[in-house]
Amino acid sequence: MTARTGVSTLRKTPEVRGEGLVLGPWRAADAARVLEIATDPATRAWSPSMRPLNTEADALTWMSERTANADRLDWAVRDSASGLLIGRVGLHRFDPGCRSAEIGYGVHPAHRRRGVALRAVTAATTHAFTTLNLARISLVHATGNSASCAVASAGGFAFEGVERSSLDHGDGVRHDMHRHARLATDAGAVPRIGRTPVAINAGDLALRPWAPEDAEQLLAAVADPLIARWNPRLPLPDIDAARGWLASKATGWAGGEACSWKVVDAATGELRGSMGLRCIDPIDRAAVASYWTVAGARGRGVAPAALTAATEWAFTELGMHRVTLAHVLANEASCRVATKAGFLLEATIRDSCLLRDGFSDEHLHARLASDPRVGLP
Amino acid sequence: MDPVELSDDRLLLRLPVRADVDDITLACRDLELQRWIPVPVPYERIHGEQWVDDTSRSWADDQELRWVITERGVSNRAIGAIGLHARDATMREVGFWMAPWARGRGVMTDAVRLVCRWGFADLGLGRIEWWANVGNYASRRVAEKVGFTMEGTARARLLHRGVRVDGWCAGLLPGELVEERSGGRPVDRR
């Protein structure tokens, strides 16, 4: 016999940042949008809890009941740029013994097919694993709900079986359901959200995604001896190597592991340097920054400005909490860049970088989303 | 709900009473039982008493409809236990254990069949679930003999004395109950 309980002490709705969206508490002003979600045919079909909603008053009641329910942690999902309500996501059926819960979600009909559900589920699951210390999140859906099945698969929720007649949809029919689950220990199940490369404005500078036609410019820039000295994976010996490097940057965007940009003069488009975020980890909400500046553009604050812009973007758009960077001890210019951009020196890590003349210690710097803002000159 | 007893030509499922505590305590000290059933370890007499005394509440609030298993015409002593745990309005989960001295004669299979038949006919259940720690083949054999279909393995879904373990899940729907006895061999209905 299995013992399960439904006890939870969760009361307050925490704000959780995801990629391009924010999870937060319901507001009375959401009633109209909630009603639009509830009356949509797909919601009617697959979300029985919203079926009784026919008026804005119903929507208000639904929101307040959800918030008051101690066995639920229910979020409104808002677009991080516009603040518009685009969906809902929630955890329920908390099992403190198994440290497990079940996830549910829905997307406003005008915002479907843009990965909202996947990004909201990823943010809520990450919060569940990292902040609530849960070990398992179940995701169940009626067998006919193929959109939900796709979200589960993309989100790293392993398929565990079909439980027949297991879902009470409140329509008098018991539905077959798929059971998926993601465990906090599922190392291979870290969801990777492929991204469309985007540009970032940084005042006089702009961070723009590398393009295939940048190969020659890139090749010339990295021929500089200082770049070669501090970046053992550079220089690039020929144009094919440069094209390969650019292709790997595109793969990083598409696979969700990395984002990288050329840093250019916003007015002229002239190349000033390179900026990258890699090892993007949605579980720990951490990423690693790296950069270099072309020889003729050094000493003008290019790297600190680019690093600041990319890091802010990682906090607000990727939902990252911690961005780190490491530089070999002898690269004092990089240490100054990190310090100017508000990256605290945390440690000296030993023999962590293999340069051409042997292993070198590195400084580990990090900046948290919660760190005070830095004012750049 | 009000407690009911269930019986067929072989078994009587009745409510546990204080007189059962010695048999229950001895059975629950069995290492093989403790391996698969999350009873307290060490299992003290007080645990048996608490379980018996909790019976009227567990029926009254519908959470667990609980019986001990006895063999009619043999003895009125409890040789096992079986229960139906509430899951939703028309779904319950069956759970059971058998004393080591009563295993191997198909008693549990008959008890599960009796309880499931009653659950569909009298409670109007739409599904009965069975969950067990992965590896509990004795329990799985019972479930399969009465017609349960194995549906999946949920990882880290069950709590076994503080340790999260993988769970097998099976379901039995109305009309799927295997009524005939199979002489103790697993039945392949597919």
**Across the A/B interface, how many CB contacts are shorter than 8 Å?**
84
Confidence of residue B183 (pLDDT cuts 50, 70, 90): low
Verify whether the Cβ–Cβ distance B151 to A99 is below 8 Å.
Answer: no
Q: Hey, of A93, A95, A163, A171, which one would you mutate to test binding to chain B, going by the most B CBs within 10 A of its CB?
A: A163
- Indicate the fold that domain B6-172 takes in CATH: Aminopeptidase (3.40.630)
Return the pLDDT at B189. Answer: 43
Give mean pLDDT, residues B3-8. Answer: 97
B18 DSSP 8-state letter = G
pLDDT digits 0-9 by tens, B145-174: 999 999 999 999 999 988 889 999 999 999
Q: Which residues of B touch A179 (CB under 8 A)?
A: 152, 154, 169
Confidence of residue B75 (pLDDT cuts 50, 70, 90): very high
Q: Hey, of B128, B149, B164, which one would you mutate to test binding to chain A, going by the most A CBs within 10 A of its CB?
A: B164
Verify whether the Cβ–Cβ distance A2 to B173 is below 8 Å.
Answer: no
Q: Which residues of A touch B126 (CB under 8 A)?
A: 165, 168, 174
Return the pLDDT at B182. Answer: 58
CA angle B149, B150, B152 (to 5 degrees): 140
The token pair at B188 is 């392949």
Question: Which residues have C-beta within 8 Å of that of residue B145, sequence separation ≥ 6?
Answer: B109, B178, B182, B185, B186, B187
Verify whether the Cβ–Cβ distance A98 to B91 is below 8 Å.
Answer: no
Verify whether the Cβ–Cβ distance A1 to B37 is below 8 Å.
Answer: yes
- Domain A16-188: homologous superfamily in CATH: Gcn5-related N-acetyltransferase (GNAT) (3.40.630.30)
Verify whether the Cβ–Cβ distance A161 to B89 is below 8 Å.
Answer: no
| Averaged pLDDT score across all residues of chain B | 93
Question: Counting Cβ atoms within 10 Å, is residue B130 exposed (0-12), middle (13-18) or buried (19+)?
Answer: buried
Verify whether the Cβ–Cβ distance A181 to B85 is below 8 Å.
Answer: no
Closest residue of B to A140, CA-based? Answer: B154
Residue given tokens 């729907």 in the structure block: B173
Return the pLDDT at A1. Answer: 34
Kindly report the number of other CB atoms within 10 A of residue A172's CB atom. Answer: 8
Q: What is the C-alpha separation between A220 and A215, in angstroms, rounded?
A: 9
Closest residue of A to B91, CA-based? Answer: A166
* Residue A98 Cα, gap to closest chain B Cα (Å): 5
Identify the segments of chain A with pLDDT beneath 50. Answer: 1-10, 189, 377
Q: Which residues of B touch A167 (CB under 8 A)?
A: none
Verify whether the Cβ–Cβ distance A161 to B38 is below 8 Å.
Answer: no
* Residue A143 Cα, gap to closest chain B Cα (Å): 13
Q: Which residues of A touch B83 (CB under 8 A)?
A: 1
Domain boundaries, chain A: 16-188, 200-368
* Residue B82 Cα, gap to closest chain A Cα (Å): 9
User: What percent of chain B lies above the pLDDT cut of 70?
Assistant: 95
Verify whether the Cβ–Cβ distance A2 to B129 is below 8 Å.
Answer: no
Using CB atoms, pick whichever of A98, A138, A181 lies closest to residue B159: A98
Verify whether the Cβ–Cβ distance A1 to B96 is below 8 Å.
Answer: yes
Question: Which residues have C-beta within 8 Å of that of residue A186, sequence separation ≥ 6?
Answer: A156, A158
Q: Which range has the worst mean pLDDT, A1-15, A160-174, B103-117, B125-139?
A: A1-15
Say if A16-188 and A200-368 have the same CATH topology: yes
- Indicate the fold that domain A200-368 takes in CATH: Aminopeptidase (3.40.630)
Return the pLDDT at A319. Answer: 79
Give mean pLDDT, residues B42-69. Answer: 97
Q: Which residues of B touch A137 (CB under 8 A)?
A: none
Return the pLDDT at A375. Answer: 61
Q: Is the pLDDT of residue B13 over 70?
A: yes
Give the helix/strand (H/E) hosting B41.
none
Q: Which residues of A touch B173 (CB under 8 A)?
A: 164-165
